[in-house]
Structure 1
Amino acid sequence: MLGQTPLTNFQTRDVESLLHPYTPIHKLKTIGAVVMERGEGIYVYDTQGRGYIEGMSGLWCAGLGFGDEEMIEAATAQMRALPFYHIFGAKSSEPAVELAEKLKEIAPVPISKVFFTSSGSEANDTQVKLAWYMNNALGRPNKKKIISRIKAYHGVTVMAASLTGLPGNHNGWDLPVDRVLHTDCPHYYRFGTEGESEADFVARTAKSLRDLIEREGPDTIAAMIAEPVMGAGGVIVPPKGYFEAIQAVLDEHDIILIADEVITGFGRTGNWWGSQTLNMKPKTISAAKQLTAAYAPLGAVMVPEDIYQSYVDHSATLGSFAHGFTYGGHPLSCALGVKAIEIYQKRDILGHVRTLMPLFEQRLKKLADHPLVGETRFCGLVGGAELVADKKTKRSFDPKQGVGPEASRLIEQNGAILRAIGDTIAICPPMIITEAELNELFDRFEKGLDQAEAWVSKEGLRTT
């Protein structure tokens, strides 16, 4: 069903030259590709001159929108001063040092050192290597398994994709690899049983985690990694008390909690970190995306002093800390990270997000009444609307019908770019969006959903 009407700005050159990620590439010559040419504020414009509200902040990342002059000036100044240098072999650059200090200042838990990567995937991949390195240093060579969750998303490198709990990231890729375990997804709407309260659901997921740990042996498990809000799994917000219950089980078995803040960091949930919003107490943290407001690639791993000291001890034994990326700590990216945090602070982006949150919640709750929508979910300025064939029974559409992707395409035709995650339509606008712009975004969202509902009814998709 996807892309029944080809896009009018079909770009043959683009189709022939690029291997597009997360795209049904077997259909690309039919559906075409939209080529973006410029951006301004919350809008992006394609090569045909059409404007769209970028309702996903690109890929959950362009928190300051497009064309911010302060960011452009910071990039230009850094390019003139030092366009590249590395941080291998005890070298460094002022932007890398300054950004590490800023991250320590705003971290939700005590942090001693920051390791820079080029992406969130590399950050989460590094988290696993560091957990292994730490346990080798501590004389625990068998404590190496990592727990993730069903529907989690942690990236696309071999290890990060293994941590990811989505079949599409495993099928055809020979994943997941060994040492990765998956526990329950904390989605009460989908996985709660009839008559079960949210509190009972939380207790059941905590017991399931405990059973997994005891079955595998706590002396074989190094860490659990979790997103405060599960993004690419469908914007899943855990029930109240979930992380407190999970944390108690992990602490009891000496298993560290890694917070994947790649999507939820830097104000997205109404606090600096999703960990603060969801009452997580992680030992280490992964960050990326809004770290630079997406103006350059950068990821980071943040670790406390006690864990860092285990690295020091093992480096003394082995002769070196042999891990790193050519562009980790790139001076351009770090300068933009410094400037982004400065802008978040001086423009009170957190306060702006909090001001918008009631309207965001109101408009999403209104969408829950739409005949296509089974549930809406939200936290701060990130949300999702799950489309269902039957609201009463929560019956999903057959994935082959492509209802979510078709709804996303129709929304795009109305001038708003959102993202279909299966049959959940995700929304994650730039944090600079105004109330009027946010209302316009939801108006376009609703128009697209109305058209999708008409299409579903015409095709008889609820009965097939």
Structure 2
Amino acid sequence: MSQTIAPDSAPSTTASADPKRDAYWMPFTANRQFKKSPRLLTSADGMYFTDDKGRQVLDGIAGLWCVNAGHNRPRIVEAIQKQAAELDFAPPFQMAHPKAFELAERLVELTPAGLNKAFFTNSGSESVETALKMALAYHRVRGEGSRTRLIGRERGYHGVNFGGISVGGMVANRKMFGTLLSGVDHLRHTHDPARNAYAMGQPLHGAELADDLERMVALHDASTIAAVIVEPIAGSTGVLIPPQGYLQRLREICDKHGILLIFDEVITGFGRTGQPFGAQTFGVTPDLMTVAKGLTNGAVPMGAVFAKQSIYDTFMQGPEHLIEFFHGYTYSAHPLACAAALGTLDTYAEEGLLTRAAEMQTYFAEALHSLKGAPHVIDIRNLGLVGGVELAPLPGEPAKRAFSIFLDCWEQGVLIRTTGDTIAFSPPLIIEKHHIDRLIDTVRGALQRAA
């Protein structure tokens, strides 16, 4: 009699140098390559990680766009430790704890005027899902339930939940997962190297790309469109800086047609662009704004959505004992996350970190653009303390060249990030000039060795 082997009893085919590492399926990682040559971090402090061999590794990406204040900051550590001993969990449905309200008040003091309601989540992906649901529900509550269409942008990244990858526009994140949400369309991306290569700060050309939204209104009718979601700076796709006037034009079109504008500030929030939020740097206020990452300095998972008062007020109707918005998470406003966030805000305030990128951006930009002319470099983009260096791909092997630079830099004790064939930089906001010099010189050497 034939016997079928169940999937969970099939032998492992993973080529791993250490079977103790075989059980962990790593996210957004080349698992087979990693497990043959692991890169393990064991501690961190300030601008540096320490690996399992005792080497110090300069952090050129703030962990993963999130450790904006640097690692192992005393106020954050102490806040988490104290909170864990005092209140480990409080149910967020029909209950709360004081730090949730304290944190919300502290945050809306930093947001653009009008974004004065905070809804807490546990990640950037959850923040995006929450904002999309808020937008859809808002229109329905106000009697425009036909507004169900969501507009994203090509090359956009909005997390990895179904709503986020539906409005997102990075093909590798979408292609495996079926038809995704229906009723979604996408604006063109703003990457235009033919006109904007090597721009310092906002490129001059491309504001007219926002008029794609008018084309979609003509195609679908404004009465069917709920919201447009964009990143002020498209980070994960390779650091695409918005052209001058682009975000302003999007705001104007949304206002004209009654469409909500959502900014995904998971990467640009909390000082990355030289102001607390990208919305302030670019002078455009959205209707909803998503954050995470720098909210807690990466110490405890947490996200949030900021909403305008008018959106909140729209939901506040009907009998007072009934739930107004059927959405939330078990760990919304988790006590440890709130404590970490409050410690993070204290650290930002005491050290002026939410505006420090504005002070460092000229030195950072000049260092970054000194890579122009280095082997394989075809474009450089920057704003605040975020930068991208785009490389010519190896023929028929996309992303391989940049990944080889990543590995080379790791061997030299510097951590960078690559997305496709772009090297992305987003160092902690505490970075000093000598750190910038080492970061760029290490990349330069890796590029020369790859020539």
Tell me if both proteins adopt one fold, taking TM over 0.5 as the criterion.
yes
2:24 is aligned with 1:18: yes
- Equivalence for 2:242: 238
Q: CA deviation at 1:380?
A: 0.5
Match in the other structure for 1:170: 174
Partner of 1:112, secondary structure, is: strand
Partner of 2:415: 417
In the TM superposition, residue 279 of structure 1 has moved relative to its aligned partner by 2.4
Q: Shift of the alpha carbon at 1:398?
A: 3.5
Q: 1:246-261 residue pairs with structure 2 within 5 A?
A: 246-261=250-265
The number of residues matched between the two structures is 431
* Residue 318 (structure 1) shift: 6.5
State TM-score, norm by structure 1: 0.88
Please tell me the residue identity of whatever aligns with 1:410.
Answer: D
Q: Give the distance between the partners of 1:14 and 1:46, measured in 2 at CA.
A: 18
- In 2: Cα distance, 1:280 partner to 1:397 partner: 40
> What is the aligned-residue identity percentage?
32
Aligned mates of 2:269, 2:321 — CA distance in 1: 35
Cα distance, 1:320 vs structure 2: 4.7
Pairing partner for 2:80 from 75, 78, 93? 75
CA shift in 2, pair 1:351/1:251, >3 Å: closer
Deviation of 1:86 (Å)? 2.5
Mark the CA change 1:191 to 1:254 in structure 2 (over 3 Å): closer, same or farther.
Answer: farther
2:272 matches 1:268: yes
* 1:417–1:397 CA distance, 2 compared to 1 (3 A): farther
The amino acid that maps onto 2:166 is S
Structure-1 separation of matches of 2:422 and 2:391: 6
Change (3 A) 1:417 1:13: farther
2:424 matched residue in structure 1: 426
Amino acid at match of 1:444: T
Instruction: Tell me how far 1:28 sits from its aligned partner.
Output: 4.4
Amino acid at match of 1:41: G
SS in 2 for 1:17: coil
**TM-score normalised by L of structure 2:** 0.91
Q: Match for 1:151 among 137, 151, 155?
A: 155
User: Gapped runs of 5+ residues in structure 2?
Assistant: 1-15, 198-202
Q: Deviations over 1:407-426 (max 9, x none)?
A: 11112111111111100000
* 2:118 corresponds to: 114
Which segments of 5 or more consecutive residues in structure 1 lack a partner in the other structure? Answer: 1-9, 390-395, 454-464
Answer whether contact 2:317 2:324 (CA < 8 A) is retained.
Answer: no
**Alpha carbons of 1:319 and 1:375: their partners in 2 closer, same or farther (altered >3 Å)?**
closer
Alignment match of 1:441 (pick from 416, 425, 439): 439
CA distance in 2, matches of 1:42, 1:131: 39
Matched position secondary structure for 2:306: strand
In the alignment, which residue of structure 2 is the partner of 1:48? 53
1:232/1:421 contact within 8 Å kept: yes
Q: Which residue of 2 aligns with 1:392?
A: none
| Counterpart contact for 1:113–1:302, Cα < 8 Å | yes
By how many angstroms is 1:191 displaced? 8.2
Partner secondary structure for residue 317 of structure 2: helix
| Whole-Å separation in 1 of the counterparts to 2:63 and 2:323 | 42
CA distance in 2, matches of 1:185, 1:252: 22
Aligned-CA RMSD value: 2.1
Aligned to 2:337: 333
* In 2: Cα distance, 1:402 partner to 1:175 partner: 29
Separation of aligned partners in 2, 1:452 and 1:281: 43
**Higher normalized helix content (fraction of residues):** 1
- Any idea what the Cα deviations from partners look like across 1:304-357, whole Å, max 9, x if unmatched? 111001222267697553211011100111111111112111111134322211
Deviation per CA, 1:418-440, whole angstroms, max 9, x where unpaired? 11110000011111112212211
Counterpart of 1:223 in 2: which secondary structure?
strand
- Tell me which of 28, 37, 40 is aligned to 1:35: 40
